[in-house]
């Protein structure tokens, strides 16, 4: 089904369909490119080259369109991120040391 939302924009969080991930396609919500590392399911800032795919060519600018053959849309906004804020993470860390 072409109109089904499969992911969201890394910048603004707008829902994206499979047709929205073209090489020169921009998000309708914020006009930022959509086929970028930050929108890929393999994006992992803690990994070498910020990618979980070990044979992928290094991409220097993670927020710019690229030609990576391993690109797969992430299922949510910045898949490496979760919905918790820094304050939530800090509170969870402090809870570890409460007696």
Q: Output the tens digit of pLDDT for each of the chain's 99 residues.
A: 457 889 999 999 999 999 999 989 999 999 999 999 999 999 999 988 899 998 889 999 999 999 999 999 998 644 344 445 667 777 777 777 876
CA distances from 57 to 48, 68, 69, 79 (A): 11, 7, 9, 20
Alpha-carbon distances, residue 7 vs 19, 41, 57, 65, 85 (angstroms): 11, 10, 23, 16, 20
Q: How far apart are CA 78 and CA 17, in angstroms?
A: 16
The number of distinct structural domains making up the chain is 1
For residue 78, the model assigns a pLDDT of 43
Handedness of CA 59, 62, 63, 68 (dihedral sign): positive
- pLDDT at position 82 is 47
Give the residue numbers spanning the domain of 8.
1-99
**Which of 16, 9, 15 is closest to 36 using CA atoms?**
9
Query: What global pTM score does this model have?
Result: 0.70
Choose among 85, 75, 72: nearest CA to 36. Answer: 72
Task: Provide the pLDDT for residue 34.
Answer: 95
Q: What local confidence, expressed as pLDDT, does residue 1 receive?
A: 47
- Give the per-residue pLDDT at 60: 93
């Amino acid at each position: 089904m072409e109109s089904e939302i499969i992911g969201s924009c890394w910048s603004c969080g707008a829902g994206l369909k499979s047709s929205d991930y073209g090489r020169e396609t921009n998000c309708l919500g914020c006009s930022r490119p959509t086929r970028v590392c930050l929108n890929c399911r393999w994006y992992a800032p803690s990994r070498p080259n910020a990618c979980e795919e070990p044979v992928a060519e290094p991409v220097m600018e993670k927020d710019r369109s690229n030609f990576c053959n391993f690109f797969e849309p992430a299922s949510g906004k910045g898949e490496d991120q979760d919905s918790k804020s820094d304050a939530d993470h800090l509170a969870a860390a402090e809870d570890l040391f409460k007696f």
